[in-house]
């Protein structure tokens, strides 16, 4: 399929840089969001989304991961590059999972 003018890209056309740059953007979203949650938890915040239990900060980390997954999908779809889509989304989400996992380990002293 071509664009509005009937132009088609060759099958071996290089992928756009946008799709590759979106991966570290998603990692940054996860890292910054996780750092904010951990920082707020250590600063004394105990109420997260109406939950004041000891492990409530993990709910906020789940929201950070969910936002990272949605951002990954949105940015990769915006790149309009179908070749390597699954690999780029997987790499984005894997990096976000690592950032949130490190943050969850940092929250263990507060949650216990």
Model confidence pTM above 0.85: no
Tokens for 106? 């940092």
Angle at 100 between CA 31 and CA 20, to 5 degrees: 55
Beta bridge partners of 48: 51
Backbone angles phi, psi at 44, to 5 degrees: 115, 0
Taking the C-alpha atoms of residue 109 and residue 54, their distance in angstroms, rounded to an integer, is 10
The closest alpha carbon to 104, from 53, 66, 62, 52, belongs to: 62
Tokens for 52? 């004041």
- The per-residue pLDDT string of the chain (112 residues; one tens digit each, 9 = 90 and over) reads 555 655 555 555 455 566 678 889 999 999 999 999 999 988 888 877 777 777 888 999 999 999 999 999 998 888 888 888 888 899 999 999 999 999 999 999 887 7
């Amino acid at each position: 399929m071509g664009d509005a003018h009937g132009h088609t890209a060759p099958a071996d056309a290089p992928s756009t840089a946008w799709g590759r740059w979106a991966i570290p953007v998603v990692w940054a979203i996860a890292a910054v969001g996780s750092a904010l949650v951990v920082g707020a938890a250590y600063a004394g915040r105990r109420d997260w989304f109406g939950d004041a239990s000891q492990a409530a900060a993990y709910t906020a980390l789940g929201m950070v991961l969910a936002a990272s997954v949605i951002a990954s999908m949105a940015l990769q779809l915006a790149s309009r590059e179908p070749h390597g889509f699954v690999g780029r989304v997987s790499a984005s989400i894997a990096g976000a999972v690592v950032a949130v996992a490190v943050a969850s380990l940092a929250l263990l002293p507060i949650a216990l």
